[in-house]
Amino acid sequence: DIQMTQSPSSLSASVGDRVTITCRASQGIRNDLGWYQQKLGKAPKRLIYAASSLQSGVPSRFSGSGSGTEFTLTISSLQPEDFATYYCLQNNSYPRTFGQGTKVEIK
Amino acid sequence: EVQLVESGGGLVQPGGSLRLSCAASGFTFSTYSMNWVRQAPGKGLEWVSYISSSSSTIYYADSVKGRFTISRDNAKNSLYLQMNSLRDEDTAVYYCAYGGYGYWGQGTLVTVSS
């Protein structure tokens, strides 16, 4: 099984800050990775697919990069509505595996 | 508009059974593979099961293999998850998802407790 190691598990940031979240795969997954945002009590919402493609309707302050085993989600200027938990998901092989999540909190 | 609506969750005793449904609309259900993903209270996301568009290919997480059965009825635009021999650790919100996990339902809560 492919393990997805996500870091950090939580972070505190201020509005306007640049935020970076990383996922590392235990083996190469090409660019078969998505990033998700989840707010309390809601279903996950996909932000990025194929590692770097922005989902339609998602603000351009969100971006993804990486290929192989190292992936990054960047929020260029954190907004109040961005405080949430973020997950990566590898869709290269079964079983699908998620990162452990990163909770982004207000500083 | 794409809609996925899960139902069938509730309280069940350990060892019991439950059948979840996911009603799909707004897209050609019969041409898409489908998935179940769950989230235990306060925990992260866990992929549970996959079924191809024609039901010819099915996968399960090791944690549910032999106890859960995924199925679909393309004529009814519906996805199902039959859950047997339920355990405390199966307590979670269960989501159906498709489109490479781009579309998710709102989830249905399953609570396994005596």
Q: Which tens digits make up the pLDDT trace of A48-79?
A: 999 999 999 999 999 999 999 999 999 999 99
For A15, phi then psi, to 5°, come to -55, 130
Taking alpha carbons only, the member of B1, B5, B2 closest to residue B108 is B5
pLDDT for residue B108 is more than 90 = yes
Collect all residues of chain B within an 8 Å Cβ-Cβ radius of residue A94: 50, 59
Among chain B residues, the shortest Cα distance to A88 is held by B45
CB pairs under 8 A between A and B: 47
Supply the pLDDT for residue B45. Answer: 98
The model's confidence at residue A107, banded by pLDDT at 50, 70 and 90, is confident
Residue of B2, B112, B100, B111 lying closest to B47 (CA atoms): B100
Q: What is the pLDDT of residue B99?
A: 82
**pLDDT recorded at residue B1:** 92
**Range with the lowest mean pLDDT among A26-30, B39-43, B61-65, B100-104?**
B100-104
d(CA B94, CA A66): 30
How far is the C-alpha of B90 from the C-alpha of A77, rounded, in Å? 38
For the stretch B11-23, pLDDT in tens is 999 999 999 999 9
CA–CA separation, B31 and B53 (whole Å): 5
The per-residue pLDDT of chain A, averaged, comes to 97
Q: With an 8 Å Cβ cutoff, is B66 touching chain A? A: no
Of A43, A91, A94, the CB nearest to B107: A43
pLDDT at B74: 98
Contact B5, B16 (CB under 8 A): no
The pLDDT of A85-106, averaged and rounded, is 97
Quote the CA–CA distance of A24 and A18 in Å, as a whole number. 20
Give the rounded percent of residues in chain B with a pLDDT score beyond 90.
96
Which tokens hold the place of A67? 């290929």
Distance from CA of B47 to the nearest CA of A (A): 6
Q: Is B28 on the interface with A (CB under 8 A)?
A: no
- Mean predicted lDDT score pLDDT of chain B: 97
Cβ-based burial of B89 (10 A; exposed 0-12, middle 13-18, buried ≥19): exposed
Enumerate chain A positions whose Cβ falls within 8 A of a Cβ in B: 34, 36, 38, 42-46, 49, 55, 87, 89, 91, 94-101
